[in-house]
Amino acid sequence: MTGSLSVTDVAVDGRKVGVRCVDGMITDIGPDVAPRPGDEVIRAEGRRLVSPLINGHTHAAMTLFRGHGDDLPLMRWLKEIIWPLEARLEPEDVYWGVRLACLEMVASGTTCFWDMYWHPHAAARAVRDAGLRATIGIPLIDSDTSPKELKVQTVATLAQLLEVDGLITPALAPHAIYTVSEESLRWVAELAFERDLPVHMHLAETEPEVQDCLNAHGERPVAYVDRLGLLGGRTLLAHGVWVEPAELSVIAERQATIVTNPVANLKLGVGNVFDYLAARRAGVAVGLGTDGPASNNSLDMFDDLKIFALVQKHRAADPAAVSADEAWALGTGARAPLLGQARQIAVGQPADFLLLRDQTTELSFGEQYSAMVYGATGAIVDTVVVNGRVLMHQRAISGADEILDRARACARRLGLAPPQ
Ligand SMILES: [Zn+2]
């Protein structure tokens, strides 16, 4: 982003300051920092500036499927609702589904996300056009495709993704150990190493997945993916609900990241809760995600922050197990450098931040992080800046009506919205 932006009279950690951003970076912060000629200016009296949220695991285009087949068991939901729909999905559907997801994410303070879904090139174009940051995973499943064909398709998709300008990082996204063969998983590990690509996969989400892995390979999921070379500093494991303490030590040693998705796990009734305290003790990097909007069903990370903190307190039978500050740190990616940002608000950092409205029932009283984690929803977010560009101001996002109309038309074509 080229250009300059000044935010005046904004509260940062209780101090009123000015913030100036040039070419997408924060260049000045302080009580005496004032706009210069030519700056775009946001007058932020009554606003607090905080780091944005990072959604560490989602399938953004599934906004189109939201509200269909809820409350079904997983395999019935997939077989009867999702897979038949996905067979008819066009790149245009993914583009507008992701634009709709970006709209919802911006409106609730998320500026960066890790995605895994079909037609990743369409998703990347949507993220570019929305102005967010994303790591776009190329989905790999070889139950219906030969490993050879999968390699050819993946390399071609990677080349397409690298052509999309914008704040996009391509990744390899083998869906899970039960949908990708051992041969393909090994190949993913090699390609990721050769091209220095992140790997984004589901792991140990349900107990049957662990049991099947033990039956098929004689080892638990973490040992299995480690033997195939998949665990490293650029590996993101979504869920990890059924990972045991000994496996957490291996994940920490390999410097891989776990993204916990507490709301999606509760909704699916996976019967367990990710052992965050054991992960913290082992030194594992941990982030927070929503999972797809068809299995959460919200992309408002404020929900997930609260539920994360509550289920961990409940699991530990200890209200002090996870503080509001710690939950917020997880939600902003501060405990998982792989997610893409060590976003303190400081000179020399990318100009990504939120302005929260002070005069809300949630934020007007009490300690700030408690209010944000336990009391608030994304509705407290007033303004969103990414890479120095204002994506939302006073809750208005340009083009929102068109995005909603176009996404609704895609849902209608798929038989998911009533005719006009
Ligand atoms: Zn998922």
Could you read off the pLDDT of 123-176 as tens digits, one per residue?
Answer: 999 999 999 999 999 999 987 788 889 999 999 999 999 999 989 999 999 999
Supply 146's token pair: 């030969």
Query: Coil, helix or strand for 382?
Result: strand
Range 383-402 average pLDDT: 97
Residue 22 has pLDDT above 70, yes or no: yes
Range 388-409 average pLDDT: 97
CA angle, residues 397, 24, 35, in degrees to nearest 5: 85
Query: How many Å apart are CA 14 and CA 358, to the nearest integer?
Result: 12
Residue 73 CB partners (closer than 8 Å, separation 6+): none
CA of 29 from ligand 1 middle (Å) equals: 38
% of the chain residues with pLDDT over 90:
89
CA of 269 from ligand 1 middle (Å) equals: 14
Residue 85 has pLDDT above 90, yes or no: yes
Q: What is the pLDDT of residue 317?
A: 98
CA of 261 from ligand 1 middle (Å) equals: 9
Give, as residue ranges, everything with CB less than 5 Å from ion ligand 1. 291
CA of 291 from ligand 1 middle (Å) equals: 5
Query: How many Å apart are CA 204 and CA 211, to the nearest integer?
Result: 10
Number of H helices, E strands in the chain: 15, 16
> What Rg, from alpha-carbon coordinates, does the chain have?
21
Q: What is the pLDDT of residue 73?
A: 85
Strand partners of residue 7: 19, 42
% of the chain residues with pLDDT over 70:
99
CA of 116 from ligand 1 middle (Å) equals: 8
* 420 vs 272 pLDDT, higher one: 272
Q: What is the pLDDT of residue 340?
A: 80
CA of 235 from ligand 1 middle (Å) equals: 15
Residue 364: band (very low, low, confident or very high) from pLDDT cuts 50, 70, 90:
confident
CA neighbor of 213 nearest in space, from 200, 226, 229: 226
- Residues 298-357 have pLDDT tens digits of 999 999 999 999 999 999 999 999 999 999 999 999 999 999 865 678 999 999 999 999
CA of 23 from ligand 1 middle (Å) equals: 34
DSSP string covering 87-130, please? Answer: HT--HHHHHHHHHHHHHHHHHTTEEEEEEE-SSHHHHHHHHHHH
- Residues 194-247 have pLDDT tens digits of 999 999 999 999 999 999 999 999 999 999 999 999 999 999 999 999 999 999
Q: What is the pLDDT of residue 419?
A: 74
CA of 393 from ligand 1 middle (Å) equals: 31
Query: How many Å apart are CA 63 and CA 31, to the nearest integer?
Result: 42
CA neighbor of 77 nearest in space, from 95, 86, 261, 414: 86
Q: What is the pLDDT of residue 169?
A: 96
CA of 28 from ligand 1 middle (Å) equals: 39
Angle, nearest 10°, between helix axes 147-162 and 182-195?
30
CA of 390 from ligand 1 middle (Å) equals: 29
CA of 177 from ligand 1 middle (Å) equals: 13
CA of 58 from ligand 1 middle (Å) equals: 6
Q: Residue 25 is inside which H or E element, if any?
A: strand 25-30
CA of 95 from ligand 1 middle (Å) equals: 19
Range 57-84 average pLDDT: 92
Q: What is the pLDDT of residue 343?
A: 63
What mean pLDDT is reported for the chain?
Answer: 95
**Residue 369 in contact with residue 324, Cβ under 8 Å?**
yes
Residue 76 has pLDDT above 70, yes or no: yes
CA of 59 from ligand 1 middle (Å) equals: 6
CA neighbor of 376 nearest in space, from 354, 391, 400: 354
Q: What is the pLDDT of residue 365?
A: 82
Identity of residue 170: P
Q: What is the pLDDT of residue 341?
A: 67
CA of 139 from ligand 1 middle (Å) equals: 11
Supply 231's token pair: 């665990």
Residue 370 has pLDDT above 90, yes or no: yes
Least confident of 73-77, 129-133, 293-297, 330-334: 73-77
CA neighbor of 376 nearest in space, from 303, 291, 322: 303
Q: What is the pLDDT of residue 236?
A: 98
CA of 292 from ligand 1 middle (Å) equals: 6
CA of 370 from ligand 1 middle (Å) equals: 28
CA of 388 from ligand 1 middle (Å) equals: 30
